[in-house]
Structure 1
Amino acid sequence: MRFDIITLFPDMFAPLLQQGITRRAYESGLVEVALWNPRDYAEGNYRRVDDRPFGGGPGMVMMAQPLEDSLQAILEARALAACPAGAPVVLFSPTGEVLTHTAVAQWSSSSGAVLVCGRYEGIDQRFIDRYVTHQISLGDFVLSGGEIAAMALVDAVARLQPGVLNDAGSHQFDSFNPAIDGLLDCPHYTRPEVWQGQGVPPVLLSGHHGQIERWRRERQLALSARLRPELVDAARSAGRLARADEKFLSQLGDDPVR
């Protein structure tokens, strides 16, 4: 899997690639990341990559030509690396589809993509129309550039690669994962048993695996019902809620904090 990232600030990615659990994915070659600065492909003494928008208005717009030249260099490099032809070109944009666990799982089984990190007021629409195949958003807010969004996608994809996490099955119980029916994950506790007067729920100390599993399921249901009720509705519509789940939810009534 290879991600080629077009960014004016490649140094921003150093912590992502050199620290944390997912570092194993990059060091082992499970996920390859190549950084490309469009300023390296800009013309003139000042290597200009942006200009004023036609029609007036505030801010600057990234120019199409340096982006195209960066993309062509990437496609040539991918061909030399024997990467599959026709790599998707992803732009991080408020108009894109919101990134979800399902989308991350799909990207994790792909051969990668070219990620375009916009800056300023955006990039020339002609480049988008000609080359961009996917647009992704992290949510209904605006960042200073696409770098943080690109890091989020690459990190989320990298941790799903086999052998990256110490416990190979740990991501199966992440929030939104189909393994827990798309619900929120339950709370977790560790040593000491009592911290600042608060104890661990007794069932977690009981050693009774069936009761522990049911407690965790009920906490997933309660948290989801209180904070993200649409997740419960989706699980119900998909037929993923057992009779015991429905009974517990009905007992919550108007008090999903229980």
Structure 2
Amino acid sequence: MHIDILTLFPEMFTGVIESSILKKAQDKNKFTYQLVNFREYAQNKHQKVDDYPYGGGAGMVLTPQPIFDAVEAVKKERSSKPRVILMCPQGETFTQKKAEELVQEDHLIFICGHYEGFDERIRTHLVNDEISIGDYVLTGGELGAMVVMDSVIRLLPNVLGNEASAPQDSFSSGLLEHPHYTRPAEFRGMKVPEVLLSGDHGKIAAWRKEQSLKRTYERRKDLLNNSKLTIDEKSIVKD
């Protein structure tokens, strides 16, 4: 996978991309990236990328020319057809399902905005997806792009140390993940559930499924409405 990130603040990404799992993924040649400051594509002498909105109103709006030219330039560098993503609070709320969809792509382009918003022609004629990471507004799209990138890259083959980790994550199955315990078996009077110490993998799997359903019911009951539960799972939820 190759990722192009169009931003006015490329320095924001270095610490995130060059650390932890994302750094390990690069070391394994699982993805490459390029930080593109679209200010460099502005055609005016002051490299201005925003202007006042037609009709009046507060704030400045990003103009289409630098962003169109930047996207067209990075497209020419690669033969694959990219998926162009606009980070925007008005976009589709990002989910694990969307991450699983995006990881199938060979080339992603993220557009990170600032100021009051984008010229509407960027939305309607340039991008494939508008993505939001939640119902709140950030200073710019950079943090949102980092969140989406991390979520997608960790799903690439052989990026995580244990290939079973990603499918068991919360939301991957449509449910929240079961509780986890590790050593010691007793800590300050708090004990690990006996079933996890039993060595009976069948009972452990049943306990984890029950706990996953219970946790989802208690914390995110809305997820159960969209899950295809078995008869046994429906019985657990009912209890």
TM range (shorter): over 0.9
Q: What is the match of residue 51 of structure 2?
A: 51
Of 147, 157, 162, which aligns to 1:152?
A: 147
Q: What is the match of residue 27 of structure 2?
A: 27
CA shift, 1:44, in A, is: 4.1
Of 248, 251, 254, which aligns to 2:236?
A: 248
CA shift, 1:45, in A, is: 4.4
Instruction: Determine the C-alpha separation between the residues in 2 that align with 1:40 and 1:189.
Output: 51
Mapping for residues 66-215 of structure 1, pairs under 5 Å: 66-78=66-78, 83-85=79-81, 87-178=82-173, 182-215=174-207
Q: What code does the residue aligned with 1:248 have?
A: I
Q: Is the 8 A contact 1:22 1:165 kept in 2?
A: no
Farther-moved stretch of structure 1 (107-116 vs 26-35):
26-35
Q: What code does the residue aligned with 1:221 have?
A: L
Q: What code does the residue aligned with 1:114 have?
A: I
SS at match of 1:59: coil
Instruction: Determine the C-alpha separation between the residues in 1 that align with 2:76 and 2:91.
Output: 27
Q: What code does the residue aligned with 1:241 have?
A: T
SS at match of 2:118: coil
CA shift, 1:120, in A, is: 0.9
Q: What is the match of residue 60 of structure 1?
A: 60
CA shift, 1:60, in A, is: 1.3
Instruction: Determine the C-alpha separation between the residues in 2 that align with 1:216 and 1:144.
Output: 40
The root-mean-square deviation of aligned C-alpha atoms, in Å, is: 1.6
Instruction: Determine the C-alpha separation between the residues in 1 that align with 2:94 and 2:46.
Output: 36
Q: Is the 8 A contact 1:26 1:33 kept in 2?
A: no
SS at match of 1:116: strand
Q: Is the 8 A contact 1:98 1:138 kept in 2?
A: yes
Instruction: Determine the C-alpha separation between the residues in 2 that align with 1:133 and 1:140.
Output: 21
CA shift, 1:116, in A, is: 0.6
Farther-moved stretch of structure 1 (67-76 vs 159-168):
67-76
Q: Is the 8 A contact 2:83 2:105 kept in 1?
A: no
The alignment of Structure 1 onto Structure 2 pairs a total of residues equal to 239
CA shift, 1:165, in A, is: 0.5
Percent of aligned pairs with the same amino acid: 39
Q: What is the match of residue 39 of structure 2?
A: 39
Instruction: Determine the C-alpha separation between the residues in 1 that align with 2:12 and 2:83.
Output: 23
Q: What is the CA deviation profile of residues 214-240 of structure 1, one whole-angstrom value per residue up to 9, with x for unaligned ones?
A: 1111110101111111222222xx3x3
Q: What code does the residue aligned with 1:249 have?
A: V
